[in-house]
Amino acid sequence: MVDKNSINFVLLTGISGAGKSVALKYLEDIGYACVDNLPVSLLDEFIASAQQSDEPRVAVAIDARSSGNLQLLPEHLSKYRKEGINIKVLFLDADDNTLVQRYSESRRGHPLARRLTLHGQPPSLLACIHKERELLEELRNQEHVIDTSGISPAQLRHWMRDWVGLQRPGIILTIQSFAFKIGSPGDADLVFDVRCLPNPHYEPALKNQTGMDPDVAQWLSKFPEVKEMVDDIEKFVRKWLPRYTMDTRAYFTIAIGCTGGQHRSVYVAEQLAKRLSDTTELLIRHRNRPELS
């Protein structure tokens, strides 16, 4: 029997249509014993059973399809962690437009559609999505969130790999770049706009490169205002991150945006990740440059 304190538990949850099937399949592919659509009332029994099994890695998905009171999940998770159980929770989300498009493409109904009625009529898809957000709001506010709007299944699997590999307890800091022209990510706790910095896009030799390429990095580093921006963001984060995380949250996401998410935001995010690597365990993501993630 595996030592119960060495078992890795993963709970996948979030908004229906945000990618939980992709995430659960990834965990299954890397060796997790997976259970989908577990009723909330059976979670205690499931955890106890897993502790008596020979499976060192176990994953379960609970969402709007699952029976039971979803709003009790934070209470369950708090209890498990006080008992010393190693449980990691991933909350997948997406914006309303993305969710509506995915439901339209799949031609599937929302799990809450048969459980809700509005003025005696079946609810709209958006009404179901908004109700689900309401039910899961507390859980979303305290767990690690990935906004899957605009990212591919391959990119989600890549981010899952990085997240699953985290070992150190405590605050997990995520720094991600993004493109304002596509929209700011919904999983960001802080957003910094670096569109005021010089833009390599207008340099023909740099236009098709990214902020991770040495030529772009060297070009940006010539400008004092670029260094000042990085300095100021670093100073702000170092000062205020402890305050932001005093409310027991275990995850914090900082988003750095420029126009196209290719040059300035990528460079600044990389520089911040290097500087802040001594503060806590850290993830770096480039939201609109999948080839860099």
This prediction has a pTM of 0.83
Residue 126: pLDDT over 60: yes
Strand partners, 254: 175, 190
Segment 95-108, tens digit of pLDDT = 999 999 999 888 88
Q: How far apart are CA 15 and CA 140, in angstroms?
A: 10
Cα 97 to Cα 93, 103, 126: the distances in Å are 12, 10, 9
Segment 215-230, tens digit of pLDDT = 999 999 999 999 999 9
Q: How far apart are CA 214 and CA 219, in angstroms?
A: 8
Work out whether strand 57-61 and strand 190-193 pair parallel, antiparallel, or are unpaired: unpaired
- The CATH number of domain 4-164, selected from 3.40.50.620, 3.40.225.10, 3.40.50.300, 3.90.1150.10: 3.40.50.300
Locate the domains of the chain by residue range.
4-164, 172-292
Tell the residue number behind the tokens 């399949």, with chain if given.
25
Average pLDDT, the chain: 88
Number of other CB atoms surrounding residue 289 within 10 Å: 21
Q: Phi and psi of 202, rounded to 5°? A: -90, 5
Segment 154-199, tens digit of pLDDT = 999 999 998 888 765 567 899 999 999 999 998 999 999 999 999 9
Strand partners, 173: 252, 282
Q: How far apart are CA 261 and CA 127, in angstroms?
A: 32
